């Protein structure tokens, strides 16, 4: 999707990895550079103490900015992105570490990358999110959203938990396992991959369900249409279990609890021109083959 | 999809597992029963010598019948179904073995099952197919279609083959492996599962790509949007390799050959009322859990 | 190993699954039956309140009895067996659930099974154990033994832990994962199997090391000679991690801790005549094939 | 094992990768260098046309030389080594490609490496081999030995084969699969790894059995004591199958054939001082972790 003619990028929001001194320094340089170009800048709490720009709550930010810049790693980007679910504001990650799956712009290239996006270059990929709710005795206890994954897992106890899964009302299985990963395509290359799941292409409308260390060996990962409603019921939980959203938000779970997961709104991540999904995969997963490589072993 | 009001099931085609005496006997009973109901029946070559009904080439059958009945296992059904790709004629499999993923009706229940379908009961699932072409030196050598899977595999030689995959023009990887499975959702529970692939829900528009015994351990299965065009180029093939379509059609391959795979037309399989996709999975994969089972270990 | 002529089975110890009423009833029947045969019986704390036999601390039991009977499941047997490490006293498990890997005698057959063992029938398999120690800042904090497995795992925190493994002083890897299983052959069919490990034959002198959900996909399970000394050093632990012994004993771990694991003494499990290791595997793992089965699919 | 005082390395055998011009040139340099040191040199057929040294049949070579040098990759070394099974003559591989699992000496370092071994430096690892026999209707049709693996595989046919395995007379399973790998510890890092097997440490006396793409998902790899006799019986083979020894020798198989596999003699591979088994694993498998690496992701 091209967005150059859609957005007039007057106001730019900036957030950084909390407590990261290098990110703060870079952010200040970026703010100066943006203001030279007559852009307005606002920041969230992560930069409150570092600069004099207006500080806006991250959850309200989407209503104030035309472009959001995030300096950090994939984790920082996930945290900011969850506040932009349902908004069309593009988010550009400037990667302070190594190549990320989601953070697109290398820091060495920060000004050029931001410039490209401000000029309407690059492209946007809409990543859908998952919404999860925890219900106990018919009462909704809490919930949240995730860009990568919703992970049910045992906690503080060495024995497996047991739970049932239903998909759009149909019983799928009762399984004993360490847990279960429900991942978006973006999340399929994160924790779900370690749990044995496949790579789900970022443009496929699908939810990946991957049991973690299932007791029954034939309980393989399942890829479902993203419109399916997934319900988990905890049938045996020797000690409190947890529901983790993007590995960042946590809900405590007890035996009998019901978890409802469904597709939720999208976030719009900005990518630079020439970005190649498969090249990122090859690099992150150390696939050795290249077209011109005669020694692919 | 309900089809009861769409089709007027005047003419019924029948095909059986070739050389299966029991199937032939059952087919004759079925023919008698259908004619009592004033249906017209025609058969393909598999029944030519067993009955006096008009015999039609299987590849022309879709143009002559309103419902196709197949007596055999999943293999027989796959063979017949490939001749119905692109047609809306529903196909009902009567299973002579055990529960199949595709063959729906248990033989003990044959007349009732056919009756239900003739009365417009049950439902139809459209399964898309894959079309594969083999190109050598710019010339198309051959091709075919598959309902379950297109499998590239080494043949007659103990050493791995090496090939490159491109998806809609983008280079994905060069890999050394025993082969590669490209499966439809229907095929994800067939050979692809043995190769380590996930289960892809039958209603997801996706193609599963699963390397068979890849040399690079991080070459995990990938699930792609079904609209993607997949190209394989054989970069190192010590001895002729093979391209197998549904394990039933075979094309011989040499080093340098290019294989092009894309989504093709659908077939309409008829299922009985109450058919439950996940129940079939549970049964075939020996998932032990049931809602009321207290001993799921 | 035949042991009939080695042991004079004068004194029999009994332990049951704690709080299991059925086990208590069966134990009382068993005690009566053994006393009719002029055997002496002693019990551990699990039966203290149910009978008037002498009660001996389970950790001292091995010095007092010639045969130990355990009524429960594999978990109960593991707990009792850890107190018999280094002793030659045979232990017979009477299984109150379904077929266990370790608990040998079906409850329906309890008297006949015990009778057979008392008469010197059956055989003994010596299972070696693992000893684990936790060291912090050069001080040994604690330790314990395991018959099945020593499992390092993250706890109360959604992020992976990172640790290094050395084998007999040689650096093997630094890995990020949910944890690591170190299993004996007996333990290879327990949790390690869910984590992707192979089955290690019960008579092989080997330790299985299986990472749980490793971040690096090529970090495959490794089978080591049982004489190897294994050292783990926790290099990154965002929140307290745990070391679980047979899923029953727990040690809390912090970043920087070192864990030392080595082969320890054996326990002698009694098996009935005709017990077949592979038959147990087939049954537990639902391998369908049998010699006379024409439908192995 | 140190061998410096055991062997008086008077006569050196040399073999190269057949048809490799670079290897031939290096071999000639090596021959000149060895003769300057008053060593006697003999070659096998691979060097017959390149030099004037005595040419000895590779199968008789072990009786004539005190050290065998092989210039090539792991494949060349495997081929030569099979002719040295049961002999104590050390074999040193000079690797013309990249780091091999078995070929020890980098070519850049060839003279120094050979010098070290001639001086009694380095160490020897004895790798045991597997012997395989094919029996049909009670008659032994053929057989051979393998250093890495004996692989049963289907051939020229897209359908799985079905076979039974017995271990020391006990029935283990009947399975449908693409094939079965029986690997030594050395072979566990070759094809068996691609088939999903674990790494078996080179000093463990064990045989790894790994099904290739088994139909039944719980048919996991099994690690057996190396003294076990393994028998396979082919119960369903739609088209001729193959038994491949180290991927280099091939025996054709038919339905009903029986294959007997057992541990056979050892070969003595020479390794340079400081060779580290785990370092080789890390390098070949791209395990990223290093002791001093703060970015192990």
Listed ranges A146-160, B91-105, B272-286, C134-148; the one with the highest mean pLDDT? C134-148
Judge: C158–A247 Cβ closer than 8 Å, yes or no: yes
CA distance D234 to D255: 5
Residues of A with CB under 8 A from a CB of C: 151, 153, 155-156, 158-160, 177-178, 191, 193-196, 212-215, 217-218, 242, 244, 247-248, 250, 285-286
Mean of pLDDT values over A205-216: 96
What's the rounded mean pLDDT across residues D173-184? 96
Cβ contacts of D98 on chain A, cutoff 8 Å: 295, 297
Can you read off the two tokens belonging to residue D258?
């029986």
pLDDT above 60 for D6 = no
- Angstrom distance (rounded) from CA C40 to CA C13: 9
Q: C149 with C117, same domain?
A: no
Taking a C-beta distance cutoff of 8 angstroms, is the pair C93, C105 a contact? yes
Residue A224 has a pLDDT of: 98
B217–D285 CB contact, under 8 Å: yes
Burial class (CB in 10 A: 0-12, 13-18, 19+), A255: middle
A141-150, A284-293, B27-36, B236-245, range with the lowest pLDDT: A284-293
pLDDT interval class at A104 (50, 70, 90): confident
Looking at residue A294, its pLDDT comes to 33
Q: In angstroms, rounded to a whole number, what is the distance separating the alpha carbons of residues A256 and A276?
A: 44
Over 90: is that where the pLDDT of C27 sits? yes
Residues A214 and A246 in one domain: yes
pLDDT of C292 strictly over 60? no
Report residue D100's pLDDT band, with 50, 70 and 90 as the boundaries.
Answer: confident
Q: Which residues of B are catalytic?
A: 74
Same-domain check for residues D42 and D117:
yes
| A136, part of any domain | yes
CA distances, D14 to each of B173, C112, D27, D73, D123 (Å): 38, 67, 7, 14, 20
Name the pLDDT band for D238 (thresholds 50, 70, 90): confident
Residue D218, min C-alpha distance to chain A (Å): 6
Q: What is the pLDDT of residue B98?
A: 67
CA–CA separation, C46 vs C96, rounded Å?
15
Distance (Å, rounded) from C-alpha B115 to C-alpha B94?
12
pLDDT interval class at C98 (50, 70, 90): low
Of A164, A199, A223, the CB nearest to B200: A223
Kindly tell me if the per-residue pLDDT of B7 is higher than 70.
no
pLDDT number for residue A286:
83
Residue A176 maps to which CATH number?
A: 2.60.200.30
Nearest CA-CA distance, residue C192 and chain D, Å: 12
Residue A103 — φ and ψ, nearest 5°? -75, 120
The residue-averaged pLDDT of D59-79 equals: 95
Judging contacts by C-beta atoms under 8 Å, the chain A residues touching residue C151 are 158
Q: Tell me: pLDDT of A277 over 70.
A: yes
- How far is C78 from C64, CA to CA, in rounded Å? 19
Instruction: Give the 3-state secondary structure percentages of chain B, helix then strand then coil, rounded to 5.
Output: 20, 40, 40
Predicted local distance difference test score (pLDDT) of residue A106: 87
Which chain C residues are within 8 Å of B218, Cβ to Cβ?
Answer: 217-218
Are both C118 and C134 inside the same structural domain?
A: no
- Give me the domain span that covers residue D38: 3-122+272-285
Q: Quick check: pTM over 0.90? A: yes
Q: What is the mean pLDDT of residues C7-23?
A: 92
Across the interface, do C178 and A178 touch by the CB < 8 Å criterion? yes
Q: What is the pLDDT of residue B210?
A: 98
Q: Which of C97, C217, C220 sits opposite B220 (nearest CB)?
A: C217
* Closest C-alpha among C210, A287, C169, C214 to residue D291: C169
**Whose CA is closest to C92, among C25, C174, C3?**
C3
- C238 has pLDDT over 50: yes
Q: Give the separation between CA D288 and CA C139, rounded to whole angstroms.
A: 30
Interatomic CA distance for residues B235 and B225, integer angstroms: 25
Q: Quick check: A98 and D220 CB within 8 A?
A: no
Nearest-CA residue of chain C relative to A195? C213
Is D165 a member of any domain? Answer: yes
C-alpha dihedral (D189, D192, D196, D201), degrees to nearest 10 = -40
- State the average pLDDT over residues D32-45: 96
Cross-chain residue pair A201–B285, CB shorter than 8 Å: no
User: Measuring CA to CA, which residue among B248, B227, B228, B226 is closest to residue B144?
Assistant: B248
Mutate to test the interface with C, among A177, A194, A210, A216 (most CBs of C within 10 A): A194
Are both A187 and A209 inside the same structural domain? yes
Quote the CA–CA distance of B176 and B163 in Å, as a whole number.
7
User: Do the beta carbons of residue C81 and residue C91 sit within 8 Å?
Assistant: yes
Among A44, A74, A149, A246, which one carries the catalytic annotation? A74
d(CA B286, CA D27): 59
Over C249-267, what HEC string results? Answer: EEEEECCCCEEEEEEEEEE
Residue D55, beta-bridge partner list: D43
Cβ contacts of C297 on chain D, cutoff 8 Å: 176, 215
* pLDDT exceeds cutoff 90 at B293: no
Strand partners, A150: A182, A245
Strands C241-245 and C149-153, by their bridges, are: antiparallel
CA distance A281 to B222: 11
Percent above pLDDT 90 for chain A: 81
The b-or-e profile of A163-202 (16+ CB within 10 A means b, else e) is bbbbbeeebbbbbbbbbbbbbbbbbbbbbbbbbbbbbbbb
The total domain count for chain B is 2
> Which has more confidence, A236 or B287?
A236
* Min Cα separation A170/chain B (Å): 7
**Is residue B66 in some structural domain?**
yes
Tell me whether residue C228 is in a domain.
yes
| pLDDT digit string, tens, across residues D10-26 | 999 999 999 999 999 99
What pLDDT score does C99 carry?
Answer: 64
Same domain, yes or no: A134 and A102: no
Q: What would the two tokens of residue D203 be?
A: 């000093």
Helices A21-36, A110-118: inter-axial angle, 10-degree rounding: 40
Lowest mean pLDDT among A137-146, B92-101, C192-201, D49-58: B92-101
- Give the separation between CA B116 and CA C110, rounded to whole angstroms: 53
Q: Is residue C246 part of a domain?
A: yes
Task: Encode burial over D5-27: b for 16+ CB neighbours within 10 A, e otherwise.
Answer: eebebebbbbbbbeebeebbebb
E strand residue ranges, chain C: 11-16, 40-43, 67-72, 90-95, 105-106, 123-136, 139-146, 149-153, 161-167, 170-177, 179-183, 199-200, 206-212, 222-225, 230-236, 241-245, 249-253, 258-271
D108 and D166 belong to one structural domain: no
Q: Residues in chain D whose beta carbon is closer than 8 A to a beta carbon of chain A?
A: 97-98, 217-218, 220, 286, 295, 297
- Give me the pLDDT at residue A130, please: 98
pLDDT confidence of residue A4: 45
Nearest CA in chain D to B192: D213
Residue D297 within any structural domain of the chain: no
Give residue C276's pLDDT band: very low, low, confident or very high (50, 70, 90).
confident
- Which of D158, D188, D239, D285 to probe by mutation at the B interface, max B CB count within 10 Å? D158
- Closest residue to B217, CB basis, from C98, C220, C295: C220
- Is A293's pLDDT higher than 50? no
- How many A-B residue pairs are in contact by the CB < 8 A criterion? 135
Closest CB from A220, A224, A289 relative to B173: A289
Residues B81 and B31 in one domain: yes
Name which of C174, C279, C285 is nearest D293 (Cβ-Cβ): C174
Instruction: Indicate if A244 and A137 belong to the same structural domain.
Output: yes
Query: What span, in angstroms and rounded, lies between the C-alpha atoms of A129 and A265?
Result: 6
- Other CB atoms within 10 Å distance of the CB of residue C86: 12
Is the predicted pLDDT of residue A125 greater than 90, yes or no?
yes
Helical (H) or strand (E) element with A15:
strand A11-16
A186 found inside a domain? yes
With 90 as the cut, is the pLDDT of residue A100 above it?
Answer: no
Give a yes or no: residue B65 inside a domain. yes
- What is the rounded CA–CA span in Å between residue B186 and residue B203? 9
Interface probe, candidates B151, B153, B154, B158, chain D, greatest D C-beta count within 10 A: B158
Judgement on whether residues B158 and B206 belong to the same structural domain of the protein: yes
Torsion, Cα A235 C152 D196 C207, to 10 degrees, reads -120
C118 and C52 both lie in a single domain: yes
Integer Cα distance of A178 and A193 in angstroms: 15
Q: Do B278 and A170 touch (CB under 8 A)?
A: yes
Within this chain, do residues D116 and D93 fall inside the same structural domain, yes or no? yes
Q: What is the 3-state secondary structure (H, E, C) of A89-134?
A: CEEEEEECCCCCCCCCEEHHHHHHHHHHHHCCCCEEEEEEEEEEEE
Are C290 and D208 in contact (CB < 8 Å)? no
Number of Cα atoms under 13 Å in the Cβ half of residue C96: 20
Q: What percent of chain A stands above pLDDT 70?
A: 94
Known catalytic residues of D?
74
B interface residues, C as partner, C-beta within 8 Å: 97-98, 217-218, 220, 286, 295
Tell me the CATH number at B25: 3.40.50.10330
pLDDT of A296 strictly over 60: no
């Amino acid at each position: 999707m091209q967005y150059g003619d859609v957005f007039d990028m007057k106001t730019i929001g900036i957030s950084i990895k909390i407590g990261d001194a290098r990110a703060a320094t870079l952010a200040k340089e970026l703010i100066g550079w943006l203001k030279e170009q007559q852009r307005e800048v606002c920041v969230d709490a992560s930069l409150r103490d570092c600069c004099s720009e207006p500080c806006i709550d991250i959850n309200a930010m989407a209503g104030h900015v035309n472009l959001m810049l995030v300096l950090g790693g994939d984790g920082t980007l996930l945290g900011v992105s969850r506040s932009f679910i349902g908004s069309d504001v593009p988010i550009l990650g400037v990667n302070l570490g190594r190549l990320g799956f989601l953070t697109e712009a290398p820091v060495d290239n920060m000004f050029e990358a931001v410039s490209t996006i401000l000029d309407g270059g690059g492209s946007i990929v809409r990543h859908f999110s998952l919404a999860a709710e925890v219900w106990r005795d018919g009462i909704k206890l809490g919930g949240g959203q995730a860009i990568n994954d919703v992970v049910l897992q045992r906690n503080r106890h060495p024995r497996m938990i047991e739970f049932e899964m239903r998909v759009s009302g149909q019983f799928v299985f009762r399984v004993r396992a360490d847990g279960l990963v429900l991942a978006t395509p973006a999340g399929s290359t994160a924790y779900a991959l370690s749990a044995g799941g496949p790579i789900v292409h970022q443009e496929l409308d699908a939810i990946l369900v991957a049991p973690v260390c299932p007791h029954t060996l034939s309980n393989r990962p399942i890829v479902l249409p993203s419109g399916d409603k997934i319900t988990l019921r905890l049938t045996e939980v020797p000690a409190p279990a947890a529901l983790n959203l993007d590995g960042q938000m946590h809900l405590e779970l007890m035996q009998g609890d019901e978890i409802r997961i469904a597709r939720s709104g999208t976030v719009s991540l900005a990518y630079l021109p020439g970005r190649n999904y498969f090249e990122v995969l090859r690099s992150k997963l150390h696939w050795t083959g290249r077209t011109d490589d005669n020694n692919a072993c």
